[in-house]
Amino acid sequence: MEIHFTWREFDKSVEHIYNKCKFLEFSGIYGVPRGGLCLAVALSHKLKINLISKPIKNSLIVDDVYETGNTLNSFKNIEGAMFFVIFSKVKPIWWNTVHISEKSEWIVFPWENLANLQSDRNEYFKKRGDS
């Protein structure tokens, strides 16, 4: 099943994360490439904090989806870091999410190239051995 996530829904998600973080102090915000970059830029403007090129102590680290945990787990031990994703396909433990989705749901974000959707999806499942 596909979920087409809209810019309006993205803006609401940014607002949700902003409301959770607006009274916290961060050394910067890091967006995991590629999926977390749009979110990081939007939150950088909204929270008025610097976008950083690598995660550091006390940073806000964001991504589009938490699925296997492979990506965020590599940053898990950064002291004082806070983690947010737009979608989590499992119940959050040490990270935060705006939405929880089913593992089988394929999420299409508004910044994605729809012409490449099928090939991107096939490549994704091929890498994970789910083809």
Sheet strands (E) in the chain: 2-4, 29-31, 60-66, 82-88, 96-100, 106-108
CA 3/CA 95 separation, integer angstroms: 22
Give 32-80 pLDDT, tens digit per residue: 998 999 999 999 999 999 999 999 999 999 999 999 999 999 999 999 9
Class of domain 2-128: alpha beta
| pLDDT band, very low/low/confident/very high, at 121 (cuts 50, 70, 90) | low
* Structural domain boundaries in the chain: 2-128
CA 26/CA 28 separation, integer angstroms: 5
